[in-house]
Structure 1
Amino acid sequence: MKYSYFPTGVCSRQINLELDDNGKITSCEFVGGCSGNTQGICMLVKGMDAKDAIDRLKGIDCRGRGTSCPDQLSKALVEALKLI
């Protein structure tokens, strides 16, 4: 299942995800943001169970914003799991 999420409070403008029927992340892409960091995040979570990724990424803060690209990815995954 493909899912697009529009993050708030961060530099990236969009997160594109694909999850399989078992809730595993098969693809992840950030549009905008710090390219090296967002590519690294996506490489790390690819193949991971979405619930495990949520547990690891939720609540990470970037520069006192109260959120971050990893935190926004966790929110995107929560929303995507509701659709499976």
Structure 2
Amino acid sequence: MKYRTKGTCSSSIDIEMDGNVIKSVIFTGGCNGNLQGISKLVEGMSAEDAISRLKGIKCGFKPTSCPDQLAIALESIVGKAD
């Protein structure tokens, strides 16, 4: 699934799931090293665990961040979008 981010330096997130488990995450744009780290950390994690850890994180004065956008994308995948 490709998710178009809103309000971040990254422009999109490609997410591959295996059921409810995150198989891979690839960010396009953004802070490359940090986003590679986040991607590796969430691999093998359930979508719910990743959402609970990442949702609401802000980047500086922005109302969102790349991790927050990943949580929002995961919510849309598991059908828990607000």
Same fold (TM over 0.5): yes
Which residue of structure 1 lines up, in the alignment, with residue 10 of structure 2?
12
Tell me which of 50, 56, 75 is aligned to 1:78: 75
Say which SS state the counterpart of residue 48 (structure 2) adopts.
Answer: helix
- In structure 2, the partner of 1:55 is 52
Count of residue correspondences? 79
Q: Which has the higher strand share?
A: 2
| Alignment TM-score, normalising by the size of structure 2 | 0.94
TM-score (norm 1): 0.91
After TM superposition, where is structure 1 displaced by more than 4 Å over at least 4 residues in a row? none
In 2, distance between residues paired with 1:27 and 1:81?
15
- Cα-Cα RMSD: 0.6
Give the C-alpha shift of residue 50 in structure 1. 0.5
**Letter in structure 2 aligned against 1:5:** Y
Q: Structure 2 unaligned runs (5+)? A: none
Written as runs of structure 1 = structure 2, the 5 A alignment for 1:38-49 is 38-49=35-46
Does the alignment pair 1:26 with 2:51? Answer: no
Which 5+ residue runs of structure 1 have no aligned equivalent?
Answer: none
Distance 1:64 1:51 in 2: 26
Q: Secondary structure at the match of 2:16?
A: strand
Following superposition, the deviation at residue 80 of structure 1 comes to: 1.3
Deviations 1:36-81 (A, max 9, x none): 0100000000000000000000000001101000000000101111
